A and B are shown apart, each in its own frame.
Chain A
Amino acid sequence: MTKEIMKVQDLTKFFPVTAGILRHIVGYVQAVNGVGFTIHKKEVLGLVGESGSGKTTVGRAAIRLIEPTKGKISFLGKDLLALNPQELLEMRTKMQMIFQDPYSSLNPRKTIGDTLGEPLRYHGMVKNKVEEVDRVAEILNMIGLSPDIMRRYPHQFSGGQQQRICIGRAIALNPELIVCDEPLSALDVSVQAQILNLLLDLRNRLGLSYLFISHDLSIIRHISDKVIVLYLGKIMESASTKELFRNPKHPYTRALLSAMPKTHPLQKMDRMQLKGEIPSALNPPSGCPFRTRCPFAQPICAETPPVKVIQDPDTGAFDHVYHCILD
């Protein structure tokens, strides 16, 4: 077994909803509720779910960009939630993030050289300007851009190149884990493929691990080793990617997979149509959150669903887990 990078247990984040002039709390948005996972070195953990399922909140809470309400996060063997600000700052170099929209995550007034050099200076990874320029050039080479572009500004680049720059910034500090929050959604198909290749290549070369958030199942299938299916802040099912796509157990996973568009006009699809839409996280259904849309729902689903564990023929371990009364 390779080294464990991150272990998250019972991660929960409730956002308070306030009202009135005194801003008293009238309720909580239960964005993430009891999510747990582990990520090993060089592993890609895919996080899928519809909008509002809490994917992004999981990603942010896991690296403490937002404070979780509850839970335990161990990162590189340390308790992330117990770190003081100074220690957390040092730890930040080991966990980075890539966002959906590359343009809005780059400072339009900073040159590329400055954008990539700043984290190096800030964290004291380089001693002087010469070292900084050398390191930035090295990073640019790694992400497939020419070092000549250091003096240029973000608007002079295409969306794909901007996303490369964001990836460069994320890898600048030699991180262990990168949280990728829908990094391909804003890009065209042909550019998506280029960025996907780059991410895989960097993982292999630098031994990175990714927490990869996406709503696109074919991308998740391509890049992930393990997949977690989220719905209304709760894990519905988790398994190795192969197992999940071959043997989906939870009705929500099955609905999600069957909603994938056809790959050929003549392909016959056995669609499982879902009624309605994802309920509000302000007042999620009790028990299994999916029961309001589930075609197999029974009265018992209003209670906490049983956790079922089956053997995953690929990994050999009993790590295909789903939460449902069905077998």
Chain B
Amino acid sequence: MNQPILKVHNLTTKLQIGQHAYSVVDNLSFDLHLGKTMAIVGESGCGKTMTALSLMRILPQPPALPSEGQVIYRDQNLLKLSEREMRSIRGGRIAMIFQDPNSALNPVYTIGDQLVEAAEIHLGLYGDEAVNKVIQALMEVGIPSPEKRIDDYPFQMSGGMKQRAMIAMALMCEPDILIADEPTTALDVTIQAQVLDLIRRLQKKKGMALLLITHDMGVVAEMADDVIVMYASQDVERGKAIDIFDRLAHPYTIGLFNSRAGFTDPGSMLQPIKGAVPSLTHYPEGCRFHPRCPFVMEKCKQGQIPDFLLPQGDDHRAKCLLYDGTRESEERRKK
């Protein structure tokens, strides 16, 4: 295996709420490889966006506290860099695209202005050179007649076009890593297919690593090589995308899959996960999923739950005591 381009080790990010600090990202570790896609899946509030923002170091402090752990990019720990050093990496070497292009683009500047600014800061291009670079970048993402569209303000473009412009801005500096936070959630299905296809094509062409954050298992199936399933700030299951789809292990992942419409008989009752996601300030003891888990055992209710390696699959792990190999768990699992 080649060296990972980004190594995240025990990343923990806490939010200060009142007198206490609560972990929104709890001891998360993963590697990103050039040309590969890692997807982080989970429901709202599970910490997937917080993970991305922590990597980019763009969480507002306070309420966030500085992240702990290590984020190693080209032999340097991003969490230890000065803000000035981080600036040259952020946007240049590690780029990010957001869910809502409306709030990510500045409404009072033209698309061209915003992209030229990025070219000036990160590529040191000025004047016509910068404009040409921007036109080329917009062309690459499939915006028709880019030399005219650079004078458009964001409100003059459709959602799909804005998302493309944002992708152009992110990719203009040829980053090693692209973090895409729900890049297609705000788009229609036909446009979603276009944008996913575009991201996939550009990733192949430029060989960058993609960290994809999504709640949509369909998008995961489309894009991901590796998957991390997050629940209540922790990674509860991880593995190759194929292993996750074929051999779901963690009861939460199973619940997520069972909740999807379109896989059972139409009109039949789905099997949702009971209850609701716990709030950050009231995570349960033991396994954070245990109050909602249909397989819950007495031992799930306390202590730290370690990762268990699953027998089949390629480094497929689940944070669940059902896989601790004891007889009780084996029997419980069969139920």
**Chain A interfacial positions (CB closer than 8 Å to B):** 50-51, 158, 160-161, 188-194, 196-197, 200-201, 215-219, 221-225, 241-242, 255-256, 258-267, 271, 273-274, 277-278
Contacts and interface: CB of A to CB of B under 8 A. Distances in A.
B224 A223 contact: no
B269 A260 contact: no
Contact of A222 (B194, B219, B262): B262
Given A262-B218, A277-B158, A221 B189 contact: no
Contacts of B218: 260-263
Given A189-B215, A194-B272, A259-B193, A277 B261 contact: no
B221 A261 contact: yes
Report the contact-size class of chain B (Cβ under 8 Å from the partner).
35 or more
A188 B44 contact: yes
Nearest to A161: B276
Nearest to A276: B144
Given A190-B256, A193-B261, 17 more contacts: A50-B189, A188-B215, A189-B215, A189-B256, A189-B259, A191-B276, A193-B272, A196-B261, A196-B270, A222-B266, A261-B193, A261-B221, A263-B262, A271-B197, A274-B190, A277-B158, A277-B160
A3 to B, nearest CB: 19
Contact of A264 (B159, B221, B266, B272): B221
A45 to B, nearest CB: 14
Contacts of B189: 50, 215, 217, 256, 259-260
A188 B45 CA distance: 10
B265 to A, nearest CB: 9
A219 B241 CA distance: 24
B271 interface: yes
Interface string B136-164: 00000000000000000000001111000
Nearest to B221: A262
A296 to B, nearest CB: 16
Contacts of A258: 193
Contact of B197 (A255, A266, A267, A273): A273
Interface in B160-217: 160-161, 188-194, 196-197, 215-217
Contacts of A221: 261-262, 266
16 contacts: A189-B217, A190-B256, A190-B259, A190-B272, A193-B259, A197-B270, A215-B189, A218-B260, A222-B264, A223-B266, A255-B190, A260-B218, A263-B217, A263-B262, A265-B245, A274-B193
Contacts of B328: none
Nearest to B255: A190
A274 B194 contact: yes
Nearest to A267: B221
Contacts of B159: 51
A219 B161 CA distance: 27
B273 interface: yes
Nearest to B186: A51
Contacts of A191: 43, 272, 276
